Amino acid sequence: MVKLRNQYELKLMRDSGKIAAAALKRAIEGVKVGVREIDVDKVAEKTIYKLGGDLSYKTVPNYPFATCITVNDRVVHGLPTERQFVKEDIVSIDLAVKFKGWHTDCAWSVLLGKDPKKQVFLKVGEKALWDGIEKAVDGNTVGDISNAIQSRVERAGLSVVRSLVGHGIGKNLHEDPEIPGYGPKGAGIRLKSGMTLAIEVIYTNGKGDVVLDEDGWTFKTADGSLGGLFEMTVIVGKKEAEVLTDWRKV
C-alpha cells in the first residue's frame, strides 16, 4: 500500500529533509584529497545530531554508519572506510535522516578533479534525477519516472543498474512503491499528490551489472566501470514535485 501523507506528516518530512540536505551539504564540502571516507561519515553524523535528527540507517539491521560512501567502481551501500580520497576520485555520499519518526534519504556524486569525461558522466546522472523528479506529479505513473531516468542515461551511452531501485519513504526508510530507473512509460501504480518518494539514479559508464563486495554491503560494478548515484526525497505534487532534500538550497 502506498500512503498519502497529511499536512502534519508532510511538515515533519520537510523538517527531516532539511536536516538531510544540510548533512549532505557538509559531507560534500568535506570531500577533499587526503580526507578519509570515515571522516566524511563523521561530519554527516555530527550534523544530523546537531540539528536534532537521528540516523535513519540505524534502522537497517547491523548497519553501523550514518552514510554510505562509494568511490569509483563502487556504486551503492559502501561502508565508509579509512581510505583517503585521491585526485580524480568519483565520490558518492548517500545518507538518510530520521526526525520525529519520519525518514528522508538523499545521495550525490562529486568529482575530485577535472576529467571532462567524468564531469559529463556526473552531469548526465544529475540531469536524469531532475528528469525523473519532473514526472512525480498527480496522474503520472511510477513508470513515467523510470522511463525519464532511463532515457537520459541511455541516450548518453550509459547504463542504469537494474538490480537497485528507488523507493517510497516516510515512516520507514524503504516503503512501497519500488521506483526502478528503467521501464516503460505508464507502467506501475498511478501517482497521487501527497505520496513521498525517494527517487534514485543508480548508473554506470559500463554495463549495469553489479556484484557484492566481500564486506557484505558494498555493491561494485561487475566490469570495473564507474558508478554514479543521485537521489532526492520528494513529495508528489499536483503540478510539480516538492524536493525535500536539495542540499544546494541549504
The entry of Co ion, ligand MF3, none that residue 201 binds, CB within 5 to 8 Å by partner kind: none
Residue that is written with C-alpha cell 540507517 in the block: 57
CB nearer to ligand MF3: pick between 49 and 217:
217
Q: Which of 45, 94, 144, 242 binds ligand MF3 (CB under 6 A)?
A: 94
Residues binding Co ion (CB under 5 A): 105, 198
Q: Which of 12, 35, 38, 60 touches ligand MF3 (CB under 6 A)?
A: 60
Partner in contact with 153, chosen from Co ion, ligand MF3, none, beta carbon below 5 to 8 Å by kind:
none
Q: Is 57 in the site for ligand MF3 (CB under 6 A)?
A: yes
Q: Compare residues 17 and 118 and give the one whose CB is closer to Co ion.
A: 17
Q: Which stretch binds ligand MF3 (CB under 6 A): 6-14, 31-39, 57-65, 220-228?
A: 57-65
Contact positions vs ligand MF3 (CB under 6 A) = 57, 60, 63, 68, 77, 94, 96, 105, 198, 217
